[in-house]
Amino acid sequence: MTFLRRTTSVLTAGIVIGLVAGTALGVVWWQLAPRVSMVVRPDTAFPANYQPDGYIAADVSFATLACLAGVAVTIGLMNMRREHLLSSLWAALISGAIGSALMWAVGSRLGSVDIAGLSATIDDNVVVDAPLEIMMPAILLIWSATAALVVTVVAFSDWLQEVRASQREQ
């Protein structure tokens, strides 16, 4: 019964941390990510000039925040339940999925621009910041992948310590 209670508490903590950290990091991403300038005309909209670095930088800033969150959240969850890394892994993966989705949703929503509405209401060219988007959807997996890597490294380290301890005893 104690095992189930501890496992459930780690999973619950992972969900709550994913919700809180994902929302907070979505706001941070919205503030950090550079924007691409966009020219809006009465019937159309297009980037002001060729600026792939703006799109890449937005993805890289998202990936960096997700990687840092993956490391920090996973270490915190493993400290809760170090003796059973599998429950920590599941909690970290769930936290990463929820956190990344919320981070993307909050950042994209805060950085949204109604281009179609703006284009329908103007008479002349207007330059605005483009909506904040993720161009490489696989970046949403960075948080969870980082969490899995951290748990793998810790599990390998624990195994290596046990092997060395058993060799010393013999």
Query: How many domains is the chain partitioned into structurally?
Result: 1
Residues in contact with 74: Cβ distance below 8 Å, sequence separation at least 6, in sequence order: 88, 92, 146, 147, 150, 151
- Domain span at residue 140 reads 2-169
Strand (E) or helix (H) holding 87:
helix 85-110
The string of DSSP letters for 13-41 reads HHHHHHHHHHHHHHHHHHHHS---EEEE-
Residue pLDDT, tens place only, 97-124: 999 999 999 999 998 777 777 777 777 7
Q: What percent of the chain has pLDDT over 90?
A: 57
Query: What mean pLDDT is predicted for residues 152-157?
Result: 94
pTM of the model: 0.87
Question: Chain-wide mean pLDDT for the chain?
Answer: 88
